[in-house]
Amino acid sequence: MLWLIVIVVVLILAFVFLYNGLVQSRNRVDNAWSQVDVQLNRRYDLIPNLVETVKGYASHEQETFEKVVAARNAAVAAGGPTEQAQADNVLTGMLRQIFALAEAYPDLKANQNFQDLQAQLSETENKVAVARQIYNDTVLTYNNKVQTIPSSLVAGVTGFQTRPFFDAPGGAEEAPSVQF
């Protein structure tokens, strides 16, 4: 009878230990996503300033500006890593068009405000890449716990599910390069 009590206590302790590990991992994923979100929001805040600066030099490119603003708004409204990655891909393409416009306007390329915004955006792109890598590493650890035995048994009973990775948009593995 005593051995039965010991086995039950060990099983309960194992369940609690595994459950707490899953909760901690899930919280790390949420925290890592918050860091990605902070950097993405910083990026989104820089874009209107960049568009306004470029508008002063290339006002006839109204369609490009509207597309950039629409892509930014879609990215801001996106929810979760999967939607965010898709919206980010579109926004990155639009930003490349803005930087391509700058190549056609030497006065714009020489504008200090434009240069500062480009530098800030490049720095932010690097921070987004680092935050995305940390998030994906954290998701990998969490997903491994959710999918491997014995913690998968606890995860299944308590409703833990895998989380999606924040995949880098095509061609956005590095910050956009700007040449003066």
Confidence (pTM): 0.81
Looking at the 3D structure of the chain, how many domains does it have? 1
* CA nearest to 128, candidates 36, 48, 47, 46: 36
Tell me the pLDDT tens digit for each residue of 2-14. Answer: 999 999 999 999 9
The count of other CB atoms within 10 Å of the CB of residue 12 is 10
Q: Is residue 6 part of a domain?
A: no
| Domain harbouring 115, CATH code | 1.20.1440.20
Q: Is residue 34 part of a domain?
A: no
The domain of 71 spans 47-172
Q: Is residue 8 part of a domain?
A: no
The residue type of 99 is F
Tell me the pLDDT tens digit for each residue of 131-165. Answer: 999 999 999 999 999 999 999 999 999 999 999 99
Question: Taking 70 as the threshold, does the pLDDT of residue 171 lie above it?
Answer: no
Query: Higher confidence at residue 178 or residue 116?
Result: 116
Q: What pLDDT is stored for residue 15 in this prediction? A: 97
SS3 for 24-80, per residue? HHHHHHHHHHHHHHHHHHHHHHHHHHHHHHHHCCCCCCHHHHHHHHHHHHHHHHCCH
Query: Higher confidence at residue 151 or residue 89?
Result: 151
Q: Is residue 159 part of a domain?
A: yes
Is 139 strand, coil or helix? helix
Residues 38-64, mean pLDDT to the nearest whole number: 86
Question: Taking 50 as the threshold, does the pLDDT of residue 178 lie above it?
Answer: no
